[in-house]
Structure 1
């Protein structure tokens, strides 16, 4: 398996209980936060490169994933609790501040961390999901009106045990299809895999029989092995807190992130095309933006699909930051 060979695995205390970390290198701390449905392993190509560039690179299993704690209460996965997990990680590592970089849900967690705890997170890098300030209509109301006769995947994930019943009988096959559905070289032209036909399942629209180029069978085994061991509920509970987050972050509605920032998205990723207005608003919402990149021909799993390009962008941006 293509895991870095000289990383250190450890766990630290957080409000959730324990957070599992993978660490490589020494120097200024860079905290890497994964998205759904992944783990620290999503950063396997970045850890050695950041370490070689002189950084203390730390990839975490987010609360509910991998070898981190998995509280039973759905509300324990609200954004403010995940922010405090990140602060606890920084403190447990003996640091006062860190650069935080996130992908997918991890990008939103990273952005929220920078927004809520700017004294801890001195810079923020966002991969795939642009920053949009908290606020606007209640999320559940927005998602309920998307897709017409079809159901948006975020709405599909809301009901406890519903998505679990689809995924858990065949975790490996479901993950393979989900990763392929949003990868540049395997994504279907139609129908849109972000939506579910009434009475259907999300996997009905996944491509079958082919892994994307970035994902080896061994890589898939790593991801599948973690979710086969833990189940999917901890990961899915993040989606089940979006209305709570909307209320919890009311004091930050419309607020910009002023720290130095970075955005990297895939030109073929719906996260960047649907949220193109958010990217255009960066002069207002990310006034500290150092650089913004849209990678042609790239899908959603950006740091794995385009590892060399993303590594070059990340290390260049990190080198530009004040000490």
Structure 2
């Protein structure tokens, strides 16, 4: 009779148990993360100013301002407002927008698809440009063209994204007039903001791919493949590039998560109707409910992307499951 307690588990069972444990830990982590971020944001927003004054206008009477505070629940103490906020947050109810009167979470979810579309477009450009360029830079021998390209990549990495965005607007929208400078609903309106976001991501990915490929090209199995008659391109695409994909995939996942939260300036620059533009406008208007809902959704999306990437790595690499 086999003792179940001491019998070895199959790899499938080990994988399922590992993923279940990670899922439970991740759920606890996301709950703590969202609570901490929402709490910090709640008090910071209320220390930044009184939205009742902004809504009422400069010539409003004290009675009118107080009426607005009562209407939107801003007349209580910080603790009273926080207690009401926590209760609403548990059911994903962040209240009505102070600017439009619409449900804050509804506004945020309406602006989410354009942000996701822009992030996917930027990542696609990033992959198409960085993978072949990084693979080429990682091979030997090193030529003058490769050294010049490496220097150019390093320079571009140090340039702020909004500067590149302004340069792209000047070239393609003002000088050549072939692309719109702001969102106009056409198919070409996504190109400039996507290129702006990708320009900040491409140099990092190029350097990681080049480093991984260069390291792989020094391995014994590559020398064996070359000795057996394989061409340099066959060695690059069959051996070096696949081994570089794990580190590359990790960086791409991190970059996608960053794009969900770090495209505020680009969306504002190109008037892209996404979460970034909504968040910037809501901050300037002291629209607390919309800001809180937007930050909540962004933090949740970033956490989900990172969690999915971790789970994919555990499936692909058994060493991570054992760890």
TM-score, normalization by structure 2: 0.23
If asked which structure has higher relative contact order (CA below 8 Å, sep 6+), I would say 2
Instruction: Point out the structure with max Rg over C-alpha.
Output: 2
TM-score, normalization by structure 1: 0.23
User: When you count strand as a share of all residues, which structure comes out higher?
Assistant: 1
User: When you count helix as a share of all residues, which structure comes out higher?
Assistant: 2
